[in-house]
Structure formats: structure tokens, C-alpha cells
Structure 1
Amino acid sequence: MIIGTPLSSNATKILLLGSGELGKEFVIEAMRLGIEVIAVDSYQNAPAQQIAHRYYVIDMKNGDLIKDIAYREKPDFIVPEIEAIDTDALIELEKKGFSIVPCANAVKHTMNRISIRRLAAEKVGLKTSKYAFASDIETYRQKVKEIGLPCVVKPIMSSSGKGQSIVRSLDEIDRAWYYAQENARGKSGEVIIEEFINFDYEITLLTVRTKNQGTLFCEPIGHMQVDGDYWESWQPHPMSQTALNKAKEIAKKITDELGGYGIFGCEMFVKEDEVWFNEISPRPHDTGMVTMITQNMSEFEIHLRAILGLPIDIKLLSPGASYCFHASDYGVAPKYKGLEEALSIPGTKVRIFGKPTTRPKRRMGVALAVGENIEDARKKAKLAAESMKVIL
């Protein structure tokens, strides 16, 4: 299905694969620079589709459909925004001359936890937790025994922490396996078992590969997860200069190996001055939504500028925080109340994503706040988010 009409044939054109809330903010930035955007997703009326010039609804794992759209639209850039994409199709398109962001190699490696962990640990030589993979439950049980408890279990393909568990006792082992199977993207059934690192905190270091300015970094972002899903983030997260230097070194090494241009969300564990690589996304990161209020350029504007080769000058304007609000049940065409109360808190903003349907715990929007320090900002963002109610 295609809906919409084209702009002038002279406009730069971006084909966005995945049309969630991160894609929506990216589309807004692209439109500010007169860029034509075609948004693709597996369901109609996804957030970015609501504002794109036109959109398609397809099975995102069907590489033939992705290639058909690319050949028809002939975009200047193909920008993946989600994990559940046929990455082999992107590699084929890149060989045919299409520009994949940041590049097809980066997208393929980062969409699969086996590939990116082996690349980071075994090829690049980064410090990671101990890990193992399993594709059947008997092998899984054995690998859990070898890694030891507590450990972390994740599907090899998922997003936003879905399917992730911390296994602390013997009676949780099988439960974690089935939870990973139920929440995986794709049908491989394979999981990664990781040593549990007793870290002090976890950060996202937004790392930007540019054509003319080398590698740039945003200030580190701290975040909190609930059931493996991003719930809250803040910037800048305090850390020692030694740890920050190590984090930047890790992020530069892995992004140099992946290649291409654009922003990467590099997740790392930190304990005192020690830093472990965890995961990386080749696009704006959900925890990075806080940059919409803390920086002079949001992660979405930075990503676009890096793609286009435009100048980037990142400045932190104020300590700030983000806090998500969620749906409580299944529904369609949700409405919202509490906006006046949320925005009456000084220094706050609210972003409603515009998702057309709800389900329990689905992230529907985010409250943003600045403050005198991150503690003040976190308190404001939480109060604003708790004011927002999703009405079904």
C-alpha cells in the first residue's frame, strides 16, 4: 500500500524503514531542511507515517518488497529505524549503488546480538561480559550453568529490551528461555546468555561518525530500565574522566569498525573506572530522546546532519531528563489528559508519539524536563509523566 504524493523531483529523498517515535522526530528534522521522506512500516498510521510525504505498509522482513520500493522510489538515502528488517536486502541494495545509513555492514551486524557481540569482543577486542549462545533449551541450560548465576538472557533479535531477563535462581532459568522466545523478533529461537556485571551504572554514549569532522560525542546519558525496557534517562550522567575517556575509546573503536556516517547509541556498563561494551544501535537511541531538551541539537538533527555531511556543533544547554508514560490496556485511537498539569511544571515539555493502538505497558509518550541539576530534572520529568493519562 502506498499513500501520498511526491514532492519536486529536485528534492533530496529519504526512504525511512521503520516509522516509530524515533523515526517521527527524524522526519520532522528532515522536513525542516526540505527533504522528501517516504516512511515504511508493517502497520498503517505509524507515528512517522502520519507526517511523511507518503508511506508504504509492508512486511518489513520481506526483502523483495523493500527492494521493490527502493527501485521505485530511488531514494538518496535509505535510513533503517528498527531491527526487524531483512538486512540481506540492504546489503544487496548497497551493492547496487544505494546509500544505506550508516552503511549496510553496520546495520547487519547491529541487528543481531550474536554478530555484534562477536565483532566487538573477538575482532575489535573490546571488554565485554562473558557470553554464550544457545538455540535449543538443553544447550541453553548447559550454557547458563557455564556462565553462572546471576546471568542475563536475551533474544538475539529484539528491540527496547523486549524478552530480556535477569536469572538469579534455578527456578527462573526455564522461565527466561520462554520469555525470550515469546518476545523475539524473527523465528530463530536463539538466545544470548551473558554474565551479570555488577555495574555501578549504565550509560548511552551517543557517538557520531561524520564525513568532515571525525568522531563526535554527546555528553553521556544515564538511564533506567524496567523489565529491560527504557523508562527514564538523564544527561549528563556524572562519571570520572578516566571512565569517560575509556567509554569514548570503546565507542570510537566499534563505530570505526562498523563504518558509515550517522549517530550510534553505544550502551556501556561502568563500575568505578572500568567500562564494558554492551550493545550498540546504528541510529538515534530511545534513551537519547532527552537530547530534545538538553542540547542545542537533538540526536535526530545530529543524525540527519551527519548523513548529509552538514556541520555539527554539539552543545549541552542544561541538565535534563526524560520519563516515559505508558498505556495500561489494549485499545485504539487513544486520547490523553493531564497535559495542562504536566506543562504547568516549570521547564517541562511533552511529546505524545501518536501510536494508533495501545497494549499494556506500551510506551505512548515522553515527558522532558530541564533543571538546576539532573536530580531536579528527573523529579520534574517524572512528575510530568505521571500527570499524563492514556484514555482508551
Structure 2
Amino acid sequence: MTEDDTPAQPAAARSTVMLLGAGELSRELTLAFQQLGAEVIAVDRYADAPAHGVADRAVVARMNDADALTALIEKESPRYVVAEAGLIAADALIAVAERGDVEVFPTPRSTRLSLDREGLRRLAADELGLPTAPFWFAGSVEELTAVAQHAGFPLVVKPVAAAPGEGESVLLRAEDVEPAWQRAVVAGRIPHNRVMAETVVDVDFEITLLTVRTTGPTGPAVHFCEPIGHRQVDGGVLECWQPQPMPPAALDVAKSIAARIVNSLGGRGVFGVELLVRGDEVYFDSVRPRLHDSGLVTLRSQRLSEFELHARAILGLPVDTIMVSPAAAEVVYAGAEPTTGSHVDPQVALADALTVAESDVRLFNRPDDGETPRRLGVALATAADPIVARDRAKRVTTALRGLW
């Protein structure tokens, strides 16, 4: 058992949790911690972040400045530090974790690898032997050209450090190489001059397997939510639904892959494991060692949402991943075009949306400068069948379009 796998002791009343990142997901997580008796300090690089409005204390700080972050943690002396933003001084978290008086989640190793697609892919493929699509890394246009000549087309090019989907391109011909390189290296908030190229795998569907890692008297354990299907829709919408039907053999493989990568990363909490599925074959794509946008569907599908599961696991409390109803969600993101909310009565749009059977919404009205891309809202719906739930969620999104 590693140091990170030390059995968790149930949190004492009013344990202090410092959240690094105070966006919309952190707002829900703050409430989940508070409902379990914890005091929450929400930290972000700008004032009036969404979680600031509900946290016990709000702090504005430079989370990518190791000295500033270390000083803040020493001043506040939280019992837990939970990283929910992508750009955080990993060196400071490593130093704090090594002291042993503060528990850091995700583990500093996970935080670092979440910013390093190359390191994560090499861990998965080379160290753990997980099945992946064929991949290469390139440090120049010339290297990327050589990769394309060797691998053939189509080829997906991704930045080594950026938000999912940001800076990605699909290469169909040699003329696409240089534009794809330029798009990838300028994406994200961390300067870099390397990209990942990946063969396009013909798959049936993609899933997020939310995996909850806990530790207790008998050691580490992993718990799986029902698989969540997802797809990016034109117009800045992420559609997701739960459950995604899968062949039993493929589901067993998916759980094995998720358990291996999550146990390698260590720590406690929710991990969003992205997988590609073709028949009974499953390929590892990526893992996010914290809350996941496609997990927003669990606000209505599960007894405990991803936020409640994350809070319970971190605090050392029991978890369950029971799904109570099939559900679907559509997450709407800000695009390049101006919104049109000024032309629509919000009350009328909201009333129209909620006339859809078994529907619900989350509207993110305050600026969320800490997230890329910025979420505008989530349409939610349940039904006896995920196909019906997806149709209902689409109708909710359509009704709310005028707000955005």
C-alpha cells in the first residue's frame, strides 16, 4: 500500500476543504461538501467566481504561482486540498502532500499528468499496457509531417496540454499538417511545442466511465457508475446519456482498464475515464482525475451525483453508484457569436423548457472566467429509456436557445 492509499479516517465535524478552482462544477461540489458538514474555502484567480457565492470563504489567488499557493495553504491550514482547476502549480501541491499534514486530491502526480497528454498516454500504453489507438508525438512541423507520411490519413492532432477538444484537428491530406500544428501549439494556457498525433479508430461509440476510488480498512477499492455515452454536437453542445448500452464483455474490459489507470494514479475521488468502444474491443483515450462535464447527467440519473460521490470519497465516507433512472443531459457552451438573451423573456423560455416531461435545468448566469470553454447551462431529463431522455433533453435545450 502506498502513502496515497493510507486508509481514510471519516472526516470530523467542520473539516476544512480548500477547493482550488471555483467554477460551476466547484459550486455544486461546495454544496456537496457542506451538506456533509465540511467548511469550504473556494479559491480562484478572479473575484466572484461561481463557487465563491456559496462557499464559507472566498479567496482570489494565483493558483499557478507555487510560492503564492504554498503561502495560502499554510495560512488557511485546511485538512484537504482539492484541485478542480486545470492550471495549478503542481510543484506546490507535491511539496504540501509530502509534508503529510494536508491531504491533496487528486494526487500531485494526477494533477501533473492531467496537464501532460504525453506523460499520461505513455503511462497508459507503455507502463500499464492498456489498449490505445496508435499514437505518436512530434516537436515540430517537420516531425509531424513525417508522422503523417508514416501513419497515413486521417490523423487526429491534439495539443499535449489543453482542455479536451481544444486545439484539435483532423488531418485529411498533407496540406493540413502545418495549420494543425499551429492550432495545437497555441491552444491552452501552457506554452508548449509538442503535439500528439493519433490514428482515427473506427468505433461504435465513446463513453465516460465515472470511476470512484476509495480507501478503507481493507485497502483501496474502486466503484463504477453505469457507462455514460457522449458526443460533441455542432454548435457548442455536449450531449450525454446514461446508461450507454454495451456488450457485457466490453463493459468488463472497460472496468478493468478504468481500475488499472485509476489505481495507478492513486488517491480518492471521482475519475472520468474516457474510452472508445468497438464491439467487444475497448481502447483507453484519457482520464480526468476530477469532476467531468459528462457526469452532469448524474444530477438526475443517480442516487448520488458525481459531486456527492467526489465529496464522500475524499472525506473517507461510504459511497454507492446506484442509478435510479435513465437520463440525458446537454451541456451548452459559449461560442464565438454574441448571445441573444436580451431578445427573449427568460421567464417565458424557462417555463417552455420545463414543460418538457421529467425535465430540469441548470443556468450558469455569472461569468466563469476560470473555465475553457465557458458553460452556459445544462438541460436535463429522465425517462424510462435513454433514447426518450435524450429527445427530452434536446427539447429543453431548444426551448432555452433564446437565452443564449
Q: Same fold (TM over 0.5)?
A: yes
CA distance in 2, matches of 1:22, 1:252: 24
Please name the residue that 1:340 is paired with.
Answer: 351
Structure 1 pair 13–295 and aligned structure 2 pair: CA distance change class (3 A): same
Contact residue 327 and residue 390 of structure 1 kept, 8 A: no
Contact residue 270 and residue 289 of structure 2 kept, 8 A: yes
Please name the residue that 1:364 is paired with.
Answer: 376
Q: Which amino acid aligns with 2:72?
A: I
* Percent sequence identity over aligned pairs: 39
Structure 1 pair 193–325 and aligned structure 2 pair: CA distance change class (3 A): same
Query: 1:294 and 2:301 equivalent?
Result: yes
> How much is the aligned-residue C-alpha RMSD, in angstroms?
2.5
Structure 1 pair 217–325 and aligned structure 2 pair: CA distance change class (3 A): same
Please name the residue that 1:195 is paired with.
Answer: 199
Question: 1:1-392 counterparts in 2 under 5 A?
Answer: 11-97=14-100, 98-212=102-216, 214-226=221-233, 231-328=238-335, 329=337, 337=346, 338-356=349-367, 362-389=374-401, 391=403
Higher relative contact order (CA closer than 8 Å, sequence separation 6+): 2
Contact residue 79 and residue 100 of structure 1 kept, 8 A: yes
Contact residue 325 and residue 388 of structure 1 kept, 8 A: no
SS at the partner of 2:361? Answer: strand
How much does 1:139 deviate? 1.8
CA distance in 2, matches of 1:85, 1:227: 31
SS at the partner of 1:183? Answer: coil
How much does 1:325 deviate? 2.6
SS at the partner of 2:81? Answer: strand
How much does 1:48 deviate? 1.5
How much does 1:262 deviate? 0.8
CA distance in 2, matches of 1:57, 1:221: 34
Contact residue 206 and residue 277 of structure 2 kept, 8 A: yes
CA distance in 1, matches of 2:314, 2:90: 19
Structure 1 pair 179–336 and aligned structure 2 pair: CA distance change class (3 A): farther
How much does 1:83 deviate? 1.7
Contact residue 161 and residue 227 of structure 1 kept, 8 A: no
How much does 1:264 deviate? 0.5
Please name the residue that 1:5 is paired with.
Answer: none
How much does 1:229 deviate? 6.9
Contact residue 326 and residue 390 of structure 1 kept, 8 A: no
CA distance in 1, matches of 2:147, 2:46: 37
Structure 1 pair 360–249 and aligned structure 2 pair: CA distance change class (3 A): closer
Structure 1 pair 357–336 and aligned structure 2 pair: CA distance change class (3 A): farther
CA distance in 2, matches of 1:159, 1:185: 9
How much does 1:50 deviate? 2.2
How much does 1:320 deviate? 0.5
Structure 1 pair 327–283 and aligned structure 2 pair: CA distance change class (3 A): closer
Greater mean deviation of Cα atoms: 152-161 or 296-305: 152-161
Q: Which amino acid aligns with 1:378?
A: R
How much does 1:364 deviate? 0.5
How much does 1:158 deviate? 1.1
The aligned length equals 384
Question: Gaps (5+ residues) in structure 1?
Answer: 1-8
How much does 1:379 deviate? 0.6
Q: Which amino acid aligns with 2:355?
A: S
CA distance in 2, matches of 1:360, 1:91: 25
CA distance in 2, matches of 1:282, 1:360: 17
CA distance in 2, matches of 1:143, 1:110: 24
Contact residue 210 and residue 295 of structure 2 kept, 8 A: yes
CA distance in 2, matches of 1:188, 1:226: 28
Q: Which amino acid aligns with 1:57?
A: V
Query: Structure 1, residues 273-296: CA drift from partner, whole Å, max 9, x if none?
Result: 000000001112110100000000
Structure 1 pair 270–228 and aligned structure 2 pair: CA distance change class (3 A): farther
Q: Which amino acid aligns with 2:390?
A: R
Contact residue 223 and residue 230 of structure 1 kept, 8 A: no
Structure 1 pair 280–362 and aligned structure 2 pair: CA distance change class (3 A): same
CA distance in 2, matches of 1:154, 1:45: 32
